[in-house]
Amino acid sequence: MSCDFKERGGGPAQPGTMEISLGQGLLILFLVVVPLLYEWSATFKYFCKMAFYNSYILFLAVIVIPICAVRGRNVENMKIIRSMMLHVKYLYGIKIDVRGTENFNIKQPYVIVSNHQSSLDLLGMMEVLPDRCVPIAKKELMYMGTVGLACWLGGIIFINRKKTDDAISVMAETAQTMLCEDVRVWVFPEGTRNHNGSMLPFKRGAFHLAVQAQVPIIPVVISSYRDFYSKKERRFTTGRCTVQILPPMPTRELVAEDVPALTDRVRQAMLIAFEGLSVELGAPQ
């Protein structure tokens, strides 16, 4: 009787031994190295957490889309989007304190203006977003796959910042929508994210909108993230921040010529509040 066998590595495998393929070896290496890097390297942890944050937002958008699609494009869908986002802060160990919610208790449309530090502002915004309130966002967001579609279904107002005529037209339509449909809007007047621990000069679009619609401006200040997050230092840990809602600033009887002074007055009030929160939380200014 003959016995055939295939030789591997110069001879048959010994009894009781286990062979590991290249793929299995790489998987084991990955499962060992990644957790070690995550614990030992702040930079690696930063990129991992940001990658998960962005990917998770995309995932949540996939869940939200079919639910919101039942209504179509509707500002009421922002309630669904907000409810889906509220738990994200717990995944990152971020505690958000809210102050001044009573300042939202006015029965008319208004324009909310807020400072803009990073994509994490989404967490603070969703924490306090009032009913029938939609953000104004750059038009490019509409083309960001599932997130863009979810934003469109939520009634978010998209604006082309590169075309002034288009932006003015959208703002005029927004003013009419606010008054006719009892809608509030949320604007980041800095126009871009600011990682420098202060506030950039404000663009005046939100203030022209408020004056045109003759509705109040409610400033919202999100404290510095320096306690737990820094893009420059590639640092992202656990921590806390404060969202402070300031009293409404009226625009009744103001005209376009008053917009520059109104803009400066609102920014100054927000800057004072921001610096006060930074001192309170011990964040570097």
pLDDT at 18: 58
- The pLDDT of residue 260: 95
Contact 208, 258 (CB under 8 A): no
Sign, CA dihedral 157-160-163-164, equals positive
Tokens of 250: 């009226």
Q: Output DSSP code: residue 246.
A: P
**Is the Cβ–Cβ distance between 133 and 78 less than 8 Å?**
yes
Displacement of CA 273 from its chain's centroid (Å):
21
What's the rounded Cα separation, in Å, for the pair 237 and 26? 29
Low-confidence ranges of the chain (pLDDT < 70): 1-19, 29-30, 162-166, 195, 282-285
Q: Which residues pair with 133 in a beta bridge?
A: 184
At residue 20, the pLDDT reads 73
- Under a CB-based contact definition with an 8 Å cutoff, are residues 175 and 213 in contact? yes
Q: Where are the beta strands (DSSP E) in the chain?
A: 94-99, 111-114, 133-138, 157-159, 184-187, 217-222, 229-230, 235-236, 239-245
Tell me, what's the pLDDT at 5? 44
List alpha helices for 185-258, DSSP H: 205-213
**Inter-axis angle of helices 145-153 and 42-69, to 10 degrees?**
50
